[in-house]
């Protein structure tokens, strides 16, 4: 398989990230590029690693487990879980994913906490917020977020690092700017409440179609799949 196109795609994305940082006076190292490698083979991931990429995102427990076993030096990489997480899959994710981006209920937070306690670790998590209130999407509303933050702050084996959102699929990324701005404001507002154990600094927002706008609005992690690996093909 020829995966040379990945080198070019990554160069292009790196240029765009740097330019977006420059436009809004942010340092390049304030933004982490997470390569969303779901459905893509080990060979492509290894090519990313050759290009200096160390953060990868997967959205299925089984696929993550498989990749951890087949990818060369997978221990040296940062694996993030970005998908909807069922409670019966939590045991596969806790301890293997460094950050879970998609916590959207007390029950899920409890399950992660319980499993982390068993493994004697503290799991870093983000709350997924459905900022745009799309019916098809998971995530809590902005209004529900504070209550979930307060709840999670009482759990001993999870550490809340920040907020994540999946913005709507749009033709013009400018349409998502208000959603990104709203998530950033929500994070600042909640930090301002001085809740014990809560000091969030991660904003996971922006995908292939809108990561530049997301960076301008304060994203600290952008999740890019198609832009690096090309279109995904699902065999259903």
- Which positions touch ligand PLP (CB under 6 A)? 36, 38, 59, 82, 166, 207-209, 223-227
Q: Give the Cα separation of 113 and 121 in Å (integer).
A: 9
CB–CB of 233/39 below 8 Å?
yes
Supply the DSSP string of 48-102, one letter for each residue. Answer: HHHTT--EEEES-HHHHHHHHHHSTTGGGSEEEE-S---GGGHHHHBTTBSEEEE
Minimum CB separation of residue 154 from ligand PLP in Å reads 27
Closer residue to ligand PLP in complex, CB, 209/218: 209
Residues contacting residue 136 through CB under 8 Å, at least 6 positions apart? none
Structure tokens at 23: 């436009």
Closer residue to ligand PLP in complex, CB, 56/92: 56
Closer residue to ligand PLP in complex, CB, 90/214: 214
Closer residue to ligand PLP in complex, CB, 71/205: 205
**Residue nearest ligand PLP by beta-carbon distance:** 225
Closer residue to ligand PLP in complex, CB, 218/225: 225
Closer residue to ligand PLP in complex, CB, 118/232: 232
Bridge partner list, 140 = 129
Q: Give the Cα separation of 153 and 155 in Å (integer).
A: 6
Minimum CB separation of residue 59 from ligand PLP in Å reads 5
Minimum CB separation of residue 164 from ligand PLP in Å reads 8
Helices in the chain by DSSP H: which ranges? Answer: 5-23, 42-50, 61-70, 90-93, 106-118, 142-152, 177-191, 211-216, 226-229
Minimum CB separation of residue 207 from ligand PLP in Å reads 4
Structure tokens at 76: 């040296």
Minimum CB separation of residue 76 from ligand PLP in Å reads 23
Minimum CB separation of residue 209 from ligand PLP in Å reads 6
């Amino acid at each position: 398989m020829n995966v040379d196109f990945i080198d070019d795609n990554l160069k292009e994305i790196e240029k765009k990230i740097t330019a977006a940082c420059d436009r809004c006076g942010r340092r390049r190292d304030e933004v982490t590029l997470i390569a969303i490698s779901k459905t893509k083979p080990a060979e492509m991931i290894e090519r990313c690693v050759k290009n200096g990429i160390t953060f990868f995102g997967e959205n299925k427990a089984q696929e993550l487990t498989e990749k951890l076993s087949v990818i060369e030096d997978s221990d040296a990489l940062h694996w993030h879980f970005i998908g909807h997480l069922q409670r019966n899959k939590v045991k596969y994710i806790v301890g293997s994913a460094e950050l879970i981006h998609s916590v959207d209920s007390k029950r899920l937070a409890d399950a992660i906490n319980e499993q982390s306690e068993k493994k004697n670790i503290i799991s870093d998590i983000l709350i997924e917020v459905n900022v745009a209130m799309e019916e098809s999407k998971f995530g809590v509303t902005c209004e529900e977020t504070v209550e979930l933050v307060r709840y999670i702050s009482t759990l001993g084996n999870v550490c809340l690092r920040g907020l994540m959102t999946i913005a709507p699929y749009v033709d013009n990324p400018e349409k998502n700017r208000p959603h990104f701005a709203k998530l950033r404001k929500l994070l600042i507002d909640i930090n301002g409440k001085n809740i014990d154990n809560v000091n969030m600094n991660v904003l996971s927002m922006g995908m292939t179609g809108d990561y530049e706008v997301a960076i301008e609005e304060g994203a600290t992690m952008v999740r890019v799949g198609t832009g690096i690996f090309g279109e995904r093909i699902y065999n259903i």
